[in-house]
């Protein structure tokens, strides 16, 4: 899938991060930083002096490595969200949804480019008011919830992937992760009875990684949703979904709630999530995290992996209270307002990296959305942002901190380094959902 980012518009890809968050289904999260190697002694430097390549060669090599690191991180997240094998997960927070199996593309002479939209403003809302009742055995819990777990097939012109969804209503509203259906031209829902239904997109929000689908069906078994605010660390937590694709549909894993209100930063954006030890894998994204009463208290969306360390039992889910606020607005309006964006992705450019390529320190612009305010304002990939509204910036977080005080329609001024000089640009912020259309 596309790079995964939330209410901020900058995709943060630190070149020195050994671990990161990745969505589960496509899959995503972050971890420890690489430690700097110990400095060389004077004798070691003298011995190596004659072996060094020329300054020009060295500079080009350093910058090439820098670009490779940025590109590799992007490729890792892209592959994990759509097509990478889940048994070879790299470092980071990974979406827990689809991408492990290739889905045959639907045959059509002129396939659509986006998923058809469903009507909004129906008055349907997510109900969290159910009583908890008696604790269930795992067997009873599974029998209660499994009819409400669906498979999600997401088709793009270049391929497809599968994730998980949770049936919300009897008449066909289904909740899943946004990254499962992002960029899809067609979406299908596979129900517990093995029937397959074309889905319409009611709305989606990249910031909160949630989407609502609608299928033309009735008599479904909706999941019972519980109140995530009642959870405590140590409570039983069980995940039900489709890890590694549809071959393992309806897999249940058990664990506990290991943290509440865990702030997780992925791609320069922060989500407040539930942390669980229940096993999550690619394909679980959009599935259910259940309490001991068989109620959905979270929508699974991420896990943590690492290149250098063995990491087990660190998964994440969107709390049901958060999901309710987002889902209700998506059903009412089709989108969430109040998510201003520039429409670019970038990474911090250190003094060392900048000097190696004849640039200046700042935020290196990796991509610019062709429909964004940044593109209209004259920003290009390869620019280095040094100031935002008169404030010096050296990281994605610095820009997002300035942007947080503004809304869509406001204009920000940027000083960028391009070629051998500086330019001042005025860029108008857009609503995030306008770029997701």
Which CATH number belongs to the domain containing residue 77 in this structure? Answer: 2.40.10.120
Residue 51 or residue 421, greater confidence = 421
Domain assignment of residue 47, yes or no: no
pLDDT value for 64: 53
**CB distance 282 to 24 below 8 Å:** yes
pLDDT > 90? residue 97: no
What sign does the CA torsion over 66, 70, 71, 72 have? positive
- Of 20-29, 260-269, 393-402, least confident by mean pLDDT is 20-29
Domain identity same for 366 and 379:
yes
Domain assignment of residue 403, yes or no: yes
Domain count, the chain: 2
Domain identity same for 310 and 410:
no
Give the span between the Cα atoms of 329 and 336, in whole angstroms: 7
Listed residues 287, 314, 336: the one ending a domain: 336
Domain assignment of residue 45, yes or no: no
**CB distance 79 to 27 below 8 Å:** no
**CB distance 197 to 183 below 8 Å:** no
pLDDT > 70? residue 26: no
Give the span between the Cα atoms of 88 and 80, in whole angstroms: 10
Beta bridge partners of residue 318, listed in sequence order: 299
Listed residues 321, 336, 351: the one ending a domain: 336
Domain identity same for 360 and 327:
no
pLDDT value for 5: 30
Domain identity same for 273 and 359:
no
Beta strands in 9-68 (DSSP E): 19-23, 28-30
pLDDT value for 150: 98
Domain identity same for 182 and 104:
yes
Give the mean model confidence (pLDDT) for residues 67-94: 37
Q: What is the DSSP string of 152-209?
A: EEEEETTEEEEEEEEE-STTSEEEE-HHHHTT-SEEEEE-TTS-EEEEEEEEEETTTT
What sign does the CA torsion over 53, 351, 428, 185 have? positive
Domain assignment of residue 107, yes or no: yes
pLDDT > 80? residue 220: yes
**CB distance 208 to 320 below 8 Å:** no
Domain identity same for 348 and 329:
no
Give the span between the Cα atoms of 20 and 93, in whole angstroms: 5
Beta bridge partners of residue 156, listed in sequence order: 159
List all residues 6 or more positions away from 297 whose beta carbon is below 8 Å from its beta carbon: 225, 226, 227, 228, 231, 237, 274, 289, 290, 291, 317, 319, 320
Question: In this structure, what token pair is assigned to residue 437?
Answer: 């259309």
Domain identity same for 328 and 345:
no
Give the mean model confidence (pLDDT) for residues 285-306: 95
DSSP 17: B
Question: In this structure, what token pair is assigned to residue 245?
Answer: 């694709």
pLDDT value for 29: 26
**CB distance 301 to 177 below 8 Å:** yes
Residue 339 or residue 52, greater confidence = 339
Full residue range of the structural domain in which residue 417 is found: 340-436
From the number of C-beta atoms within 10 Å of its C-beta (0-12, 13-18, 19+), residue 425 rates as middle
The radius of gyration of the chain from alpha carbons, rounded to an integer in Å, stands at 23
H or E segment at 47?
A: helix 42-49
pLDDT value for 23: 64
As a whole-number percent, the residues of the chain with pLDDT over 70 amount to 73
Using pLDDT thresholds of 50, 70 and 90, give the confidence band for residue 51: very low
User: What's the CATH code of the domain at 409?
Assistant: 2.30.42.10
Listed residues 310, 336, 362: the one ending a domain: 336
Using pLDDT thresholds of 50, 70 and 90, give the confidence band for residue 302: very high
Domain identity same for 142 and 263:
yes
Domain assignment of residue 127, yes or no: yes
Domain assignment of residue 46, yes or no: no
pLDDT value for 60: 53
pLDDT tens digits, residue range 234-257? 999 999 999 998 989 999 999 999
**The residue count for the chain:** 437
Domain identity same for 316 and 346:
no
pLDDT > 50? residue 166: yes
Q: Whole-number mean pLDDT of the chain?
A: 80
**CB distance 176 to 94 below 8 Å:** no
Report the b/e string of 171-182 with b at 16+ CB within 10 A.
ebbbbbbbbbbb
Domain assignment of residue 77, yes or no: yes
Domain identity same for 308 and 426:
no
Active site residues: 179, 209, 285
Domain identity same for 318 and 421:
no
pLDDT tens digits, residue range 128-153? 999 999 999 999 999 999 999 999 99
Report the b/e string of 271-300 with b at 16+ CB within 10 A.
bebbbbbbbbbbbbbbbbbbbbbbbbbbbb
Which single residue is written with the structure tokens 């929000």? 205
Domain identity same for 405 and 330:
no
Domain assignment of residue 273, yes or no: yes
From the number of C-beta atoms within 10 Å of its C-beta (0-12, 13-18, 19+), residue 94 rates as buried
Closest CA relative to residue 204, chosen from 239, 179, 221? 179
pLDDT tens digits, residue range 346-377? 889 999 999 999 999 999 999 998 989 999 99
Give the mean model confidence (pLDDT) for residues 92-101: 52
What sign does the CA torsion over 81, 86, 88, 91 have? positive
Task: HSE, CB side, 13 Å, CA atoms: give it for residue 273.
Answer: 29
**How far, in Å, are 116, 131, 243, 416 from residue 253 at the CA level?**
34, 24, 10, 49
């Amino acid at each position: 899938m596309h790079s995964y980012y939330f209410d901020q518009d900058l995709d943060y890809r630190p070149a020195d991060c050994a671990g990161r968050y990745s969505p589960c289904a496509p899959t995503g999260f972050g971890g420890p930083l690489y430690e700097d190697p110990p400095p060389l002694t004077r004798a070691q430097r003298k011995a190596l002096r004659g072996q060094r390549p020329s300054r020009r060669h060295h500079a080009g090599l350093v910058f090439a490595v820098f670009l490779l690191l940025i590109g590799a991180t992007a490729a890792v997240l892209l592959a994990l969200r759509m097509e990478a094998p889940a048994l070879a997960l790299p470092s980071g927070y990974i979406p827990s949804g689809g991408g492990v199996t290739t889905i045959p593309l639907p045959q059509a002479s002129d396939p659509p480019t986006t998923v058809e939209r469903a009507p909004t403003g129906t008055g349907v809302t997510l109900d969290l008011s159910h009583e908890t009742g008696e604790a269930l055995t795992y067997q009873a819990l599974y029998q209660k919830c499994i009819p409400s777990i669906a498979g999600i097939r997401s088709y793009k012109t270049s391929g497809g992937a599968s994730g998980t969804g949770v049936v919300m209503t009897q008449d066909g509203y289904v909740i899943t992760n946004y990254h499962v259906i992002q960029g899809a031209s067609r979406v299908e829902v596979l129900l517990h009875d093995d029937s397959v239904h074309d889905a319409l997109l009611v709305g989606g929000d990249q910031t909160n990684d949630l989407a609502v689908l609608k299928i033309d069906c009735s008599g479904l078994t909706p999941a019972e949703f519980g109140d995530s605010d009642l959870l405590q660390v140590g409570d039983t937590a069980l995940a039900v979904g489709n890890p590694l694709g549809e071959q393992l549909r309806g897999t249940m894993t058990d664990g506990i709630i290991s943290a509440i209100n865990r702030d997780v930063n992925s791609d320069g954006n922060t989500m407040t999530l539930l942390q669980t030890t229940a096993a999550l894998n690619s394909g679980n994204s959009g599935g259910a995290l259940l309490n001991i009463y068989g109620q959905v208290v979270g929508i699974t969306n991420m896990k943590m992996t690492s290149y250098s360390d063995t990491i087990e039992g660190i998964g994440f889910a969107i709390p049901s209270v958060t999901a309710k606020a987002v889902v209700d607005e998506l059903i009412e309006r089709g989108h969430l307002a109040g998510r201003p964006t520039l429409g670019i992705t970038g990474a911090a450019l250190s003094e060392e990296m900048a000097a190696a390529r004849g640039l200046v320190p700042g935020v290196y612009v990796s991509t610019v959305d062709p429909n964004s305010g940044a593109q209209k304002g004259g920003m290009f990939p390869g620019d280095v942002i040094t100031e935002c509204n008169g404030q010096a910036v050296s990281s994605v977080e610095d820009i997002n901190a300035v942007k947080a005080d503004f809304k869509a329609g406001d204009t920000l001024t940027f000083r960028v380094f391009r070629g051998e000089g500086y330019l001042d640009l005025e860029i108008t912020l857009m609503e995030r959902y306008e770029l997701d259309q």
